[in-house]
Every structure is written in structure tokens, then in C-alpha cells.
């Protein structure tokens, strides 16, 4: 069955010839230009495939009609072949082969106009990038032409929507963005976030998560809508400049993600990084870094990737791992875990259920944090026994960041581990030893010092990254807050 393309082309050529026959004698063949001869040859090939004959008189009349139309229709400007990118040359080569397979030829003028059309289309899709820069972000894809180009330079309309980017082109785009501001601060909001006090929103959908690097200036966020999700890179100096790094959708078996370069990834978890994103499975992780592509992260035996990564993975190069079997489901395992947790609080034993791992070297930094604190308990079917005690028939236990009263589950590992990049290098802040000691670790050297201490436990704490990249620390000791303006001073004092 012939495609709609052939019938449209045949109708167009036949109609042109019929109109010309009714109005003029035509242009003799010895006066045709090379492009007009090629047009007539293409038309005859089409007619022959339909079992029809394209006569000389009809061809002469069609040529005259084309000349008359050319006088009233401006010729679209094309891109000279000397200005084509390697990807555009490959694309034109593919289209020429498709034309030849159909018994047709693509003229040089038509190819130039086609390249210009592709550049215009891509420039519209990437509104924040100039047309010349957008042209460098084309990558050839086998796309079938949908209209017949004429000798006057009519473009072979081709779809640029299926064009993919290369990592080199992504690097060039990000490098062309303005440098980060000298003072750079971020703050969260219900939908989106603020950069130096200016709100960042996305009309495509709700910004569900974001990651930043106050030192390097990289910003990446995830926007979710009914159509799925998109991961976008953003210029901290000019938030109107955005670049889609990947799209995907979450299904019953996890995440299915496709990068803008065409790389497909799948896994149970998806975390946004300041320079890309991280897709995790139980025994492996896959990091996509904008401009560099996908790298594999092998998880050491006995660990799996923690589903929630609070720290700056992209900026520091560290991920949080959880020990396998740290929280059993049977009664004996729960009893052993509870006894171990009590021992951790009393300081009689270590649990090390979590560890920070250097992605490059796979070196582990064990953390004396129990995995049993992940769960919260919800009681039901309760009756009052006295003024102080209720008896409940049912209890459900499940992992949660917040308890039934809406307060933070302060024993969940997400609130106990945080790691950031600073001008002096990456550091980790970890609340360990039954929440009695808040440690500061230099992730370059492994030096570990106590930042805050309270035997009965630190009730709450937070790390704030200042606009110059330094990190301040606040910790609640009993009824008062203690602050450390710059944690780097603790490491310097420990030398």
C-alpha cells in the first residue's frame, strides 16, 4: 500500500501540470535548468510507480507553472553546506538515501533549506538558546520526508522533534550560561524554591524536588505533572535558562527514565542531583551527569542504596548506603534490633547500619546509626485503662519521615545524615551514638570531630549553607540552641 506521501505528491504534480496546460504552452525541454530537469525526472518516476505516463507536453507546462510561481513566491533562505554541523551532514545524507531509494533526488538547494528549517524548529523548542547555538544541538535521526520539494527551493519538511542531544552539545549549552553569582543562597518553598530570594517555578507542573551546589552553582530540579516527570538543569544566574536532561514516569515497578541523549534507565528510586540525577536499585545505582552521561555505581556486598538521599550526591560524590538485613521482620529479629539499639544509646556497642560511600574509590565511612528508627508505630482499638495509660489491641509499624502527630520522626536516618560541598571540600554532619554526638567529617581526609554533644540526646539540629558556600550548624541541647557559624573552623582546630 502506497503511503499518503506518494498520493499527495502525485496530486501536487498532476495539479500543477493541469493548471499549466489550461493557461500556457509550456517551456521546451532544451530550456530547462538542471533543477527543473531533476523535478521532471522525479515526477516521471512517481507516475511510473502508479502505472501512469507523464508526457513531455505536461512536463513543459508544469515547468512554466513552476517559474510563474517562483516569481511570486520568495525563496526560503537556506544554510550553506560549509556551515553545516557534522550531525546535520549525517542527517542530510540519510534523507538523500531515502530519496534515492524512492527513485528521487534531493538537490543541494533543497538540502540547505531543510537544514535551515530544522534549525528554526529546534530554536523554538529551546527558547532560551539562540538559533545559532541551537543549531549545534542537532543530532541526525532517520526521519521520512512528508512533502515533495520543488526546484524553486521548497523545503522537504522534516520533523526535528525526534532529534536528540549529545553530551558534548549539553556541555556546550551549560558552558554558555552566565557564571554563578558571587553570593548564592537557596531556600525551599511549597512549590519550587528560591534563588537569592527570587522564586523559581515551572509552568509545566509542580517542582517536587531539587538539588543545588552553592559552591559550583549547579542547580537541577524535578517537575511532575499528569504527563509524567522531567528533570531540568537551571542557570543560577539566569533562572529563565533551562535545559531538559531527562523525562520519565513512575510505574508499579519503579522509575522508567530516558535522558535527552536517548539513554534509558530504570530502577526503584530516583534522586535529583545538582548536576544530574541518580537511579537506584537494591544492588546497583546509575548516575547521570549532564555532559558526561551515565556511570555505574557498584554497591558493596552487604549493602544497598538508601532510598532517601538527603545529602548533595552530585556536588560531593558520596552516596548513603544501608546494611542488608538491618531491620528484620520476625519477632526474634525485632527483639535483637531493639537490644542493639539500646546498646547504641548506652554506648556499649556500635550498629553501623549505614555508611557513606565515595562513588569514585568505593571507600566506606561507617556511621553508628541504627536502622530501627525508620519506623513509626500507630495504635488502634484503644481503651482507657486509667488517667495515664491506654490499652490498645492493634499496632501498625511502618517507615515514615513524620509520625502520626505530624512531627519529624527524629530517629529516621534521613534526619540524622547530611553531607554538603563547601569551599574547603565536602563534609558530612551525622548524629550518631544514639543521637548523643553530632559529628563533623572531612570527606577528603576522613578526619572526624565532635561538633556537639549531649549524653541524653540532641533533640534537633540543622545545617544551613550560607551564600558564600560555608556551612553553619544549629543544634538543640535540652532547651537551648547552640550555633556554630562555620563548621570548617572545627576541622581546622582539630589539626
- pLDDT digits over 75-99, tens only? 556 888 878 887 788 888 888 887 7
Residue 133 pLDDT greater than 60, yes or no: no
What is the mean pLDDT of the segment spanning 184-190?
A: 85
Residue 13 pLDDT greater than 60, yes or no: no
Give the least confident one: 158-162, 172-176, 339-343: 158-162
Residue 163 pLDDT greater than 60, yes or no: no
Task: Output the pLDDT for position 98.
Answer: 76
- pLDDT digits over 135-156, tens only? 444 443 333 333 333 333 322 2
- pLDDT digits over 387-402, tens only? 777 777 666 666 778 8
Residue 367 pLDDT greater than 80, yes or no: yes
Residue 338 pLDDT greater than 60, yes or no: no
Task: Output the pLDDT for position 122.
Answer: 64
Question: What's the CA gap between 150 and 55, in Å, rounded?
Answer: 18
Q: Across the chain, what does the average pLDDT equal? A: 78
Phi, psi (rounded to 5 degrees) for 292: -125, -20
Give the least confident one: 18-27, 237-246, 459-468: 18-27
Give the least confident one: 2-16, 168-182, 342-356, 442-456: 2-16
What's the helix, strand, coil split of the chain in %, to 5? 30, 30, 40
What is the mean pLDDT of the segment spanning 354-374?
A: 92
What is the mean pLDDT of the segment spanning 15-34?
A: 62
Residue 22 pLDDT greater than 50, yes or no: no
Task: Output the pLDDT for position 407.
Answer: 82
CA pseudo-torsion sign 304, 307, 313, 314: positive
Residue 243 pLDDT greater than 50, yes or no: yes
Q: Is 113 exposed, middle or buried (0-12, 13-18, 19+ CB in 10 A)?
A: buried
Q: Is 296 exposed, middle or buried (0-12, 13-18, 19+ CB in 10 A)?
A: exposed
Q: Which stretch of DSSP H or E encloses residue 472?
A: strand 471-477
Q: End-to-end distance of the chain based on CA atoms, in angstroms?
A: 80
Task: Output the pLDDT for position 73.
Answer: 52
Question: What's the CA gap between 396 and 144, in Å, rounded?
Answer: 58
Question: What's the CA gap between 436 and 479, in Å, rounded?
Answer: 15
What is the mean pLDDT of the segment spanning 280-300?
A: 91
Confidence of residue 406 (pLDDT cuts 50, 70, 90): confident
Q: Which stretch of DSSP H or E encloses residue 246?
A: strand 242-251
Task: Output the pLDDT for position 124.
Answer: 53
Task: Output the pLDDT for position 157.
Answer: 28
Confidence of residue 130 (pLDDT cuts 50, 70, 90): very low
What is the mean pLDDT of the segment spanning 268-277?
A: 92
Confidence of residue 63 (pLDDT cuts 50, 70, 90): confident
Confidence of residue 461 (pLDDT cuts 50, 70, 90): very high
- In DSSP notation, 85-113 reads -HHHHHHHHHHHHHHHHTT----HHHHHH
Amino acid at each position: 500500500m502506497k503511503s499518503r506521501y506518494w498520493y499527495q505528491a502525485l496530486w501536487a504534480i498532476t495539479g500543477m501540470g493541469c493548471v499549466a496546460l489550461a493557461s500556457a504552452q509550456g517551456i521546451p525541454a532544451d530550456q530547462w535548468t538542471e533543477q527543473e530537469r531533476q523535478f521532471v525526472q522525479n515526477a516521471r518516476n512517481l507516475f511510473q510507480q502508479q502505472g501512469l505516463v507523464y508526457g513531455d507536453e505536461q512536463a513543459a507546462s508544469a515547468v512554466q507553472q513552476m517559474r510563474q510561481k517562483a516569481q511570486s513566491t520568495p525563496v526560503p533562505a537556506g544554510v550553506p553546506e560549509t556551515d553545516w554541523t557534522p550531525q546535520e551532514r549525517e542527517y542530510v545524507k540519510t534523507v538523500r538515501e531515502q530519496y534515492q531509494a524512492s527513485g528521487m533526488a534531493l538537490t543541494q538547494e533543497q538540502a540547505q533549506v531543510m537544514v535551515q528549517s530544522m534549525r528554526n524548529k529546534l530554536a523554538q523548542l529551546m527558547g532560551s538558546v539562540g538559533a545559532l547555538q541551537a543549531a549545534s544541538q542537532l543530532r541526525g535521526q532517520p526521519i521520512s520526508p512528508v512533502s515533495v520539494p520543488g526546484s524553486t527551493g521548497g523545503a522537504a519538511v522534516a520533523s526535528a522533534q525526534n532529534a536528540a542531544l549529545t553530551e558534548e552539545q549539553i556541555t556546550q549549552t551549560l558552558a554558555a550560561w552566565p557564571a554563578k553569582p558571587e553570593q548564592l543562597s537557596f531556600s525551599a518553598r511549597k512549590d519550587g524554591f528560591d534563588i537569592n530570594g527570587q522564586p523559581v517555578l515551572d509552568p509545566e507542573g509542580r517542582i517536587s524536588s531539587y538539588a543545588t551546589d552553592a559552591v559550583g552553582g549547579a542547580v537541577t530540579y524535578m517537575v511532575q505533572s499528569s504527563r509524567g516527570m522531567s528533570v531540568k538543569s537551571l542557570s543560577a544566574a539566569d533562572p529563565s535558562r533551562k535545559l531538559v536532561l531527562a523525562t520519565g514516569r513512575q510505574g508499579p515497578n519503579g522509575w522508567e527514565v530516558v535522558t535527552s541523549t536517548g539513554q534509558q534507565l530504570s530502577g526503584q528510586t530516583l534522586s535529583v542531583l545538582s548536576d544530574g540525577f541518580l537511579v537506584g536499585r537494591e544492588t546497583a545505582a546509575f548516575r547521570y551527569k549532564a555532559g558526561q552521561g551515565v556511570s555505574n555505581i557498584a554497591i558493596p556486598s552487604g549493602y544497598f542504596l538508601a532510598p532517601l538521599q538527603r545529602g548533595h550526591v552530585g556536588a560531593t560524590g558520596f552516596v548513603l548506603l544501608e546494611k542488608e538485613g538491618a531491620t528484620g521482620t520476625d519477632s526474634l529479629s525485632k527483639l535483637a534490633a531493639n537490644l542493639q539499639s539500646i546498646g547504641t544509646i548506652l554506648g556499649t556497642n556500635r550498629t553501623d547500619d549505614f555508611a557513606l560511600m565515595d562513588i569514585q574509590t568505593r571507600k566506606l565511612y561507617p556511621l553508628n546509626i541504627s536502622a530501627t528508627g525508620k519506623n513509626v508505630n500507630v495504635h488502634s482499638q484503644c481503651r482507657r485503662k486509667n488517667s495515664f495509660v491506654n490499652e490498645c489491641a492493634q499496632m501498625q509499624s511502618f517507615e515514615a519521615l513524620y509520625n502520626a502527630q505530624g512531627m519529624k520522626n527524629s530517629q529516621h536516618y534521613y534526619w540524622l545524615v547530611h553531607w554538603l560541598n563547601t569551599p574547603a571540600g565536602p563534609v558530612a554532619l551525622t548524629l550518631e551514638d544514639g543521637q548523643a554526638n553530632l559529628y563533623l567529617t572531612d570527606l577528603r581526609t576522613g578526619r572526624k570531630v565532635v561538633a556537639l554533644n549531649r549524653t541524653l540526646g540532641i533533640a534537633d539540629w540543622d545545617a544551613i549553607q550560607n551564600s558564600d558556600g560555608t556551612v553553619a550548624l544549629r543544634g538543640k541541647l535540652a532547651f537551648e540552641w547552640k550555633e556554630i557559624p562555620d563548621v570548617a573552623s572545627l576541622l581546622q582546630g582539630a589539626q
